[in-house]
Amino acid sequence: MAGADLSTAPVIPAAANANLLTRARLERLAARAIAGFSWVFGLQVIPVIVVQSHHLNLVYTALVAAVLFASLAWLGVASLVGRTVHAAAIVFCIAYIGALVFWECGITDAGYFEGMRPWLWYLLTVATACAALALPFVWAAVYTVIAPVLYGVVLIVTGGGIDALQTAVLDALYAMIFASLLLAIMTMLRQAASQVDDRQAAALERYEIAVRAHALEAERVEVDAIVHDSVLTTLLSAASAQTVEGMRIAASMAQDALGHLDTSAPLAQPGRALDAIPMSRLRDRIISAARSFTVPFSIVPRVPGDALIPVSVAEALYSATVQAMVNSAQHAGGVLVRRSLAIEAADGGVRIVVTDDGRGFDISRIPPERLGLEVSIRERVALAGGEASIDSVPGRGTTVELCWTPDPDEVTQS
């Protein structure tokens, strides 16, 4: 808006939201914690595998150990890069069940394992932890029962005797209790984090509404002032004009009043130099908004440049950028999606790019009643004298580019 002051619009402080417990941060933390915990147990079981391998089929031992440790390695890398975490954890869960099912087939010396735990025991808690991480609650609960019970059956079959039965029951109960506690903790944390995400999304929505209301109110005040100071005065002068000179003065005043109204029309003119702000101010405000989202946006290193941008243009670019980030946060996918934000100087103006590699969409299939792209981004930037382009491919992400350059005629006049 021509009369809107960007500095007085409400801003959500990024620092206030930096330490909030969100679902995205929780999932990252849980994945890395379980991956580290899994590798601690995995390294501890290697000496046991070496000792028991002399009494097991070599092909079985090599195949099972290779699959389990490869999936653990995959889980460790995935937890660091933030991709395919659930897939790695599910592979380990399935591989562990398969190892238990075929354990008896892999034994070559049955007498050795009487009264002794198989080396798979040391990875049972790892399997239930991976299930709590990757599976829906119901399936994770089922897994926390099936895996310990299956292990207990294996121990009874291969161990033999009353001692084996007692050990199997105790081990299975211990594994179930541990897995149930972990699943309960994970579920409660996820519910709490989801509530924070919902409240933060609602706060962002209320914030955008407040920004629009603030801009509209500022514009209304300016137009009211112009109407009062220019238009009414012109009408009174025209009504009292009795001579040719008086009529000429009234006509001149009318032209001035029309000029004032034209320059105050919402986003019709990019603005005057006196109504401009530095690009750094717009950049800082957009970055502050990006950091308040529950999904992370990586900020591309800044390109030097601090051109003056009309307040009306800055407000339009800011609102369109926030809308693009909101669309990405809501529709592109969760924390595993990579998102970036770039703000740079371009031809004396500014260029803003919001990118993600999420779900993407077919632009031609967006229904007309959805205003987030057409009105909130394209038309808003176009009315400010800029250009907005949206490029999206299903399954390959979305890129929103906003550009504004000053009108050469206005630069010459200023």
Fold of the 269-414 domain: Heat Shock Protein 90 (3.30.565)
Question: Would you tell me how many other CB atoms lie within 10 Å of the CB of residue 271?
Answer: 25
Contact criterion met (CB below 8 Å) for 343 and 286: yes
Please give the structure tokens belonging to residue 26: 């929780």
Torsion sign (Cα): 213, 216, 222, 224: negative
Quick one: pLDDT at residue 267?
39
Quick one: pLDDT at residue 3?
40
Please give the structure tokens belonging to residue 407: 């009108």
In 227-243, which ranges are continuous DSSP H helix?
232-240
In angstroms, the Cα distances linking 108 to 64, 128, 159 are: 15, 28, 14
Counting Cα atoms < 13 Å in the Cβ hemisphere of 26 gives 20
Q: Please state whether the predicted TM-score (pTM) of the whole model is above 0.85.
A: no
Residue 119 to residue 51: CA distance in whole angstroms: 9
- The secondary element (H helix, E strand) that includes residue 211 is helix 161-226
SS3 category, 368: coil
Contact criterion met (CB below 8 Å) for 277 and 313: no
Give ∠ CA 10-293-330 in degrees, rounded to 5. 115
Displacement of CA 150 from its chain's centroid (Å): 39
Residue 127 to residue 47: CA distance in whole angstroms: 19
Residue 353 to residue 80: CA distance in whole angstroms: 26
Amino acid at 381: V
Contact criterion met (CB below 8 Å) for 64 and 106: yes
Going by C-beta distance under 8 Å and a sequence separation of 6 or more, which residues neighbour residue 18?
A: 291
Q: Which sequence spans correspond to the domains of the chain? A: 23-198, 269-414
What is the mean pLDDT, run by run of 10 residues, along the chain of 414 residues? 41 41 80 90 89 89 92 92 90 93 86 82 91 92 93 83 78 90 90 82 78 68 54 58 60 58 46 65 86 83 74 86 84 85 86 90 69 68 86 89 79 46
Quick one: pLDDT at residue 249?
56
Question: Would you tell me how many other CB atoms lie within 10 Å of the CB of residue 178?
Answer: 16
